[in-house]
Amino acid sequence: MKEKNLLIDFAKALVETPLTIIFIVLDVLGVIAVIHWVIDDFQEATVFLIFIIVIFGGQYLVFRRIRLQLASFEQAKPHIEFSKVRQAQMYHPSPIAEGRMPTYEVLQVWFRNNPSLPLETSIAKDVTALVGITKSDSSELFEFHSQWAKSNAPDNVGYDSFHDTGYIQPGHLEAKLIIALKYPSDSLCYAFTRESLRSSADGRSPRYEITPGDYSVRIHLRVVGVDEVFRFALHNYGINQSLNLEPESS
């Protein structure tokens, strides 16, 4: 990472500093002046031209190596993509009979990491997710820190636990971000947050309730090497209806 930062700073200095262009122009004018007014012998001119070619050729190779290294760093960066929306009914053991009883339905957004050049540096570690809910009149309802599911199977919505940060590595496995929960008999749904689950055993915290209607959802994933925003449309259709979440058209 330190080497990458040094290369980037050096490249920016070359491109952004006006003196770089001035010195290049002066170099070219100096070469022309030497050829026309100083060198009066063909052999001297030949040697001088070879010397100039070697110098500029060396500079070109250095700059080319820097450019290729920067390109490889860019290709190996984490590249987080939206994969799919999933939801399913959750269950818990029944206290009065064998088997399990339904609880709430959970809504998740799944992401994958698809860098151009998968390397060790491509792993997105400790990714945080800040989710904003906006009403249909464009006023903000609330923001919350969403939770990453610790999956109990690659293709299951079910989870063993959840975490404030996610670990998204290149490969076939997807990372599952829990957005909301809804009880079928309830018209309201609720943002899935650690705060709401700590303040209310069933997750129905008034602070994070979402009444029936249409909303915009902004998911901001951020960590070192990752700064991505994904936008969705959320529809809460009310009692005995599942939530609907779909990507917003750009």
Nearest Cα neighbor of 236 from 159, 199, 184, 192 is 184
Query: How does pLDDT run across 25-43, given as a tens digit for each residue?
Result: 666 666 666 666 555 665 6
Nearest Cα neighbor of 112 from 154, 163, 152 is 154
Query: How does pLDDT run across 51-101, given as a tens digit for each residue?
Result: 667 666 666 666 666 666 666 666 668 899 999 999 998 876 545 545 565
The pTM assigned to this predicted structure is 0.71
The strand pairing partners of 229, in sequence order, are: 220
Q: Where are the domains of the chain?
A: 2-75, 80-247
Query: Would you state the CATH architecture of domain 80-247?
Result: Distorted Sandwich (2.70)
- Whether 86 and 108 have beta carbons less than 8 Å apart is answered as yes
Record the tokens describing residue 57, joined without a space.
């050729």
Q: What angle do CA 30, 50, 11 make, to 5 degrees?
A: 65
Per the prediction, the chain carries an average pLDDT of 81
Which of 22-31, 116-125, 240-249 is modeled with the greatest confidence?
A: 240-249
Residue 176 predicted with pLDDT over 90 = yes
Percentage with pLDDT > 90 across the chain: 46
Nearest Cα neighbor of 149 from 121, 181, 122 is 181
Instruction: Please tell me the distance from the alpha carbon of residue 63 to that of residue 20, in angstroms, as a whole number.
Output: 13
pLDDT band at 158 (very low <50, low <70, confident <90, very high): confident
pLDDT of res. 64: 65
Residue 221 predicted with pLDDT over 70 = yes
Radius of gyration of the chain (CA): 29
The strand pairing partners of 133, in sequence order, are: 142, 217
159 compared with 212, residue with greater pLDDT: 212
Instruction: Please tell me the distance from the alpha carbon of residue 59 to that of residue 37, in angstroms, as a whole number.
Output: 26
Please name the residue ranges forming H helices in 103-246: 194-199
